[in-house]
């Protein structure tokens, strides 16, 4: 069981897609989920360099949806990715020092936590968001 997650850096809310696999098809489903969540806004997505994020299906989808722009994190730099902090907080809240008998139950709890919690991130401010005016970001 895997999860695609995207953290809204402005609100701290998580967009989550649960899947049995990680591939281009599911990546496109998650990208569509993001577009549906923000139907009129331009979206800047910071993404890691997973191979399934860069395949032909994803490239075609991005070309067809120009309001979604992707910036890739540097190679081997998970500490820059705010999503990694979300995964860590979710593991701590759901699975550390908790006993769950069945994996599907654990996955349900993990997904529920991701939907209900908000996650603070200093990512935007660390890179100057507070110093510039961004009228389209509200």
- The per-residue pLDDT for range 12-44, each reduced to its tens digit, is 999 999 999 999 999 999 999 999 999 999 999
Q: What is the pTM of this model?
A: 0.84
> Is residue 134 scored above 60 in pLDDT?
no
What is the Rg, in whole angstroms, of the alpha carbon atoms belonging to the chain? 16
- CA 81 → CA 69, 72, 75, distances in Å? 16, 10, 11
Write down the pLDDT at residue 41.
94
Q: Do the bridges between strand 43-47 and strand 14-19 make them parallel or antiparallel, or are there none, so unpaired?
A: unpaired
Q: Report helix, strand or coil for 54.
A: coil
Question: Of 39-48, 56-65, 97-106, 116-125, which range is least confident?
Answer: 97-106
Question: Of 3-7, 91-95, 110-114, 133-137, which range is least confident?
Answer: 133-137
In this prediction, residue 6 has a pLDDT band, given cuts at 50, 70 and 90, of very high
pLDDT digits (tens, 9 = 90+) for 64-107: 999 999 999 998 888 889 999 999 999 999 987 777 778 788 89
> Is residue 135 scored above 60 in pLDDT?
no
Domains, the chain, with CATH or none: 2-137 (3.30.420.10)
> Is residue 8 scored above 70 in pLDDT?
yes
């Amino acid at each position: 069981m895997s999860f695609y997650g995207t953290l809204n850096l402005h609100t701290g809310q998580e967009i989550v897609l649960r899947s049995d696999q990680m591939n281009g098809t599911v990546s496109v489903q998650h990208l569509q989920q993001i577009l549906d969540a923000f139907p009129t806004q331009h979206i800047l997505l910071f993404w890691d360099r997973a191979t399934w994020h860069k395949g032909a299906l994803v490239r075609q989808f991005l070309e067809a949806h120009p309001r979604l722009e992707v910036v890739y994190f540097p190679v081997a730099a998970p500490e820059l990715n705010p999503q990694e902090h979300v995964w860590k907080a979710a593991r701590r809240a759901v699975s550390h020092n908790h006993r769950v008998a069945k994996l599907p139950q654990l996955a349900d709890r993990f997904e529920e936590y991701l939907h209900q919690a908000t996650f603070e991130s200093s990512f935007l401010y660390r890179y100057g968001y507070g110093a510039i005016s961004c009228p389209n970001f509200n």
